[in-house]
Amino acid sequence: MKPKPNKTNKSRLQLLHQYYNYTGFYKFVWNAIIKALPYIVIAVVLIYTVNHFFDINAALIRFTEILPAYGVLSFFFVSETLLGLIPPEIFIAWAGKMYAPWLYLTLLAILSYSGGLLSYWMGRSITKMPSVHNYLETKMEKQLKNSKKWGGFLIMVGAVLPLPFSIACIAAGIIEFPFRNVMVYGSLRFVRFLIYGLIIFNVL
């Protein structure tokens, strides 16, 4: 006779879902989205309004055309360190027009990764401010505890998805997520640049 299937056996995905549900991960993410939603809406409306009267993308493309290579790379590094709100795709498209596109793409990936790591230490510096430190210790204790559990997920999302990598790294610094883990999870940033390079270079 064949052994009856064990109903207690669960797939890894089911176990992961159960863990996140049990630890309150989904509730934590949902509450964070709700709290951030007004700021996101304001930012989107502001960008849309500015872009309606002033073509931001065209200006950025023009910017990459008039600056020397080291100027574009320097500007990109500053952008990726300070919030990273400028889409990297514009710079990847610029790299595709250079005489050695993959070399410049590699430089962009290194600068983006390095900017994220620098952002992490900016986040750590923020927590050294007495007012911020006291606020985190008193009013954000539970949120910080949960965030430290899922810091790796936060970094991976920022590294791979079209979201500001710098902001994810600043948040990791604020919650004092281990720097070694930030370096490991953040290395997925190179994968994103590789994929975007393969797509954009083939289109250009």
pLDDT of residue 113: 95
Q: Tokens 């055309």 sit at which residue?
A: 65
* Residues in CB range of 169: below 8 A, 6 or more apart: 116, 117, 119, 120, 123, 155, 158, 182, 186
What is the reported pLDDT for 98?
Answer: 86
> Under a CB-based contact definition with an 8 Å cutoff, are residues 157 and 33 in contact?
no
Instruction: Give start and end residues of each alpha helix (H) in the chain.
Output: 12-23, 25-53, 56-66, 69-81, 88-96, 101-126, 130-138, 141-149, 151-160, 165-174, 179-186, 188-203
How many residues are given for the chain? 204
Query: Can you list the residues of the chain whose pLDDT is less than 70?
Result: 1-10, 12-13, 15-17, 19-61, 63, 130-150, 203-204
What is the C-alpha separation between 191 and 37, in angstroms, rounded?
29
- Positive or negative, the Cα torsion across 177, 78, 164, 190? negative
First to last CA, the chain: 62
Q: Is 200 buried (19+), middle (13-18) or exposed (0-12) by CB count in 10 A?
A: middle
For residues 69-83, b (16+ Cβ closer than 10 Å) or e, as one string?
eeebbebbbebbbbe
For residue 64 the two structure tokens come to 């990459």
pLDDT number for residue 183: 93
pLDDT recorded at residue 21: 66
Residue 6 corresponds to which tokens in the numbers above? 């064990």
pLDDT for 7: 46
Residue 109: name the closest of 6, 194, 20, 11 by CA.
Answer: 194
Both structure tokens of 185: 């999870």
pLDDT tens digits, one per residue of 30-70: 665 565 566 556 656 665 665 566 665 566 667 677 778 89
Q: How far is residue 2 from each of residues 5, 6, 20, 195, measured CA to CA in Å?
A: 9, 12, 34, 47
pLDDT of residue 184: 92
- pLDDT score at 193: 93
